[in-house]
């Protein structure tokens, strides 16, 4: 019988297995383990829905080699100081959320990598930069990560993250949501940053029929300060104060 610490290691391979980054040995061990682990089966089913919903062309851009560790360090930091005596079911929920958040941040890196690559293309228009040279961009790091959770229990399969990404040349504020209500007509989701009781808009985005939405905004100053993040569903993208229902909020 597999020892408890060995089983824990294999269970932690769910995200690597879905994303295809595990070794052949790890893949075989996980496939041998999967039929007898209901928790991993449930997590794989949910992760596969999330992973397959990402745009196909994301797979053509390689993230920095240390990206996974950066992502997991940032996600795990959200749980710093938490109660380690949580029930098994609570630990499973947290484990799944970490995997979802990791995928969300990886997606954000893919998107922001494309933005930086386009900026370099504009700067070097005399000698266009092909996609294959995207790794010439310095490795990006997560400067800050905030988890976003739905405001209603009916949307418990929704989630999101907001993060500040720094590649050493420029910074971007990224918001990624999954499982959100799709926008119709002129509707738009609006991101609000709250600091010292004052609220300001950080931009708007729309959500497609798969429930995926992304906001990527450049940061002009050296730092972006805020105490909390909220997302509302607005009738249009032209408001300077919230008019619609709040859909996501920072933890």
pLDDT tens digits for range 109-167: 555 554 444 444 344 444 444 545 555 555 667 788 888 888 887 666 788 888 888 87
Report whether 181 contacts 152 (CB < 8 A).
no
- Assessment of whether the complete model's pTM goes beyond 0.95: no
CA dist 187 and 195 (Å) reads 26
Determine whether 246 is exposed, middle or buried from the number of CB atoms within 10 Å of its CB (0-12, 13-18, 19+). Answer: middle
């Amino acid at each position: 019988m597999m020892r408890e610490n060995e089983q824990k290691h294999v269970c932690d391979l769910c995200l690597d297995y879905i994303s295809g980054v595990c070794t052949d040995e790890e893949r075989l061990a996980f496939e041998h383990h999967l039929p007898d682990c209901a928790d991993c089966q449930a997590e794989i089913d949910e992760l596969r829905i999330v992973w397959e919903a990402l745009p196909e062309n994301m797979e053509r851009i390689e993230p920095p080699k240390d990206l996974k560790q950066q992502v997991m360090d940032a996600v795990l930091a959200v749980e710093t100081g938490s109660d380690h005596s949580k029930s098994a079911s609570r630990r499973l929920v947290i484990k799944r959320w970490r995997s979802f958040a990791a995928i969300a941040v990886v997606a954000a890196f893919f998107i922001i990598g494309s933005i930086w690559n386009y900026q370099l293309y504009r700067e070097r228009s005399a000698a266009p930069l092909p996609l294959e040279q995207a790794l010439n961009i310095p490795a990006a790091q997560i400067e800050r990560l905030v988890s976003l959770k739905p405001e209603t229990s009916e949307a418990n399969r929704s989630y999101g993250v907001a993060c500040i990404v720094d590649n050493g040349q420029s910074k971007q504020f990224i918001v990624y949501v999954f499982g959100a209500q799709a926008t119709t007509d002129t509707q738009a989701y609006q991101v609000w940053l709250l600091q010292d009781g004052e609220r300001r808009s950080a931009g708007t985005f729309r959500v497609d029929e798969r429930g995926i939405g992304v906001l990527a905004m450049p940061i002009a100053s050296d730092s972006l300060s805020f105490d909390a993040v909220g997302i509302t569903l607005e009738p249009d993208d032209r408001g300077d104060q919230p008019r619609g229902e709040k859909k996501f909020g920072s933890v």
